[in-house]
Amino acid sequence: MGRWEPDARGRLAKAALALYAEHGYEQTTVAEIAKRAGLTERTFFRHYADKREVLFAGAGELEELFVRAVAGAPESAAPLDALTVGLDAVAEMFADRREFARRRQAVITANAELQERELIKLASMTAALTGTLRGRGVAEPTASLAAEAAVAVFKVTFERWIAPDEERTMQQLTRESLAELKAVTSVV
Amino acid sequence: MGRWEPDARGRLAKAALALYAEHGYEQTTVAEIAKRAGLTERTFFRHYADKREVLFAGAGELEELFVRAVAGAPESAAPLDALTVGLDAVAEMFADRREFARRRQAVITANAELQERELIKLASMTAALTGTLRGRGVAEPTASLAAEAAVAVFKVTFERWIAPDEERTMQQLTRESLAELKAVTSVV
């Protein structure tokens, strides 16, 4: 047991999601999560600050990846083209996590506090992307609008991607959402 | 004192904002707000559930107005045209409230819990607008993307409108933001 346990982090996340689905997020304790994963509470706390953190640990990674990809887009890329590079990187990161994402979403949808946390993470992502665009020399209000639009595309795409029976990749759905956004705004 | 007090609601809101600015939101009590307004606590609670409600009472009104305007747009209007009718109605509602909005924003920016509440209100608005577009026969993902885009325009426009020394009307800034959004998305 302990620090040499292989993939303890992944096992804890899987055990937590299973318990949240079975007994509800509120009712589940860290002790139960550790037990289900065959690990100790001590090991749990080496990987996660609390039971909520299990659901949001990926959000920081997601934001960082998104921002890094946008920052690294060709200098000549227009704002939404740079953001699209980021959206593609995000889609790649999620590629093999669809089932996890579906289960996670079900837990979040059932709990108002978790939904709030999700909104905060998305707002943080929007702010970070706005800052990244400004760093690329994009003026306001363009930077804010482009970042908001990209996060809207991500949100809507993500919801479609985790829908039951949806089999298209996140990248395909991202392209569709971008085309749809373009169609929607082109009539004004 | 009491129920016949003229504009008790407005006086309470003004007193509350002044106290939040002077002493901080957390430190201000309902008793102090009532006293500053020259009213009783009892009168306060006839108008607001608590001190947070003073800041968010307008959000319900805003959402209702926005939704009603979108629902009432000509049947032939494209999604973003219908949303623009809503944005214009919102701009009209805010027209004479710029100073209040500036003071309110300063309080919200200083408090994480209030920022979360603001995010929740915006998410609720997006969901309501998405539902309204669906009711107008707009399919998904167009309805969600259009609603997200309109709320993004509202957010960005609102921030610009309350900036120090900004004198353009919210309607002018809304037009600019819409044009900017169109320009941003047209390059994809």
pLDDT at res. A161: 97
pLDDT at res. A4: 62
For domain B54-185, give the fold: Tetracycline Repressor; domain 2 (1.10.357)
- Average pLDDT score over chain A: 93
User: Are residues A115 and B119 in contact, defined by beta-carbon separation less than 8 angstroms?
Assistant: no
User: Which A residues 33-72 touch B at CB under 8 Å?
Assistant: none
B54-185 matches B8-47 in CATH topology: no
| Domain definitions of chain B by residue range | 8-47, 54-185
Per-residue pLDDT for B187 more than 90?
no
B180: nearest CB among A145, A159, A187: A145
Cα torsion A9, A15, A19, A20: sign: positive
Contacts of B9 (CB under 8 A, 6+ apart): B47
pLDDT band at B3 (very low <50, low <70, confident <90, very high): low
Put residue B137 in one of left, alpha, beta given phi > 0 → left and psi -120 to 50 → alpha: left
Q: How far apart are CA A21 and CA A147, in angstroms?
A: 33
Which of the listed CATH numbers 1.10.357.10, 1.10.760.10, 3.40.50.720, 1.10.3720.10 matches domain A53-185? 1.10.357.10
Q: Which residues of A touch B182 (CB under 8 A)?
A: 185-186, 188
ipTM above 0.90, yes or no: no
B184: nearest CB among A146, A177, A180: A146
Place of tokens 């009168």: B43
Homologous superfamily assigned to A8-47: Homeodomain-like (1.10.10.60)
Structure tokens at B126: 């997006």
Q: How far apart are CA A125 and CA A127, in angstroms?
A: 5
Judge whether B168 is closer than 8 Å to chain A, CB to CB.
Answer: no
pLDDT at res. A2: 46
Q: Which residues of B touch A155 (CB under 8 A)?
A: 144, 148
Place of tokens 């407005």: B10
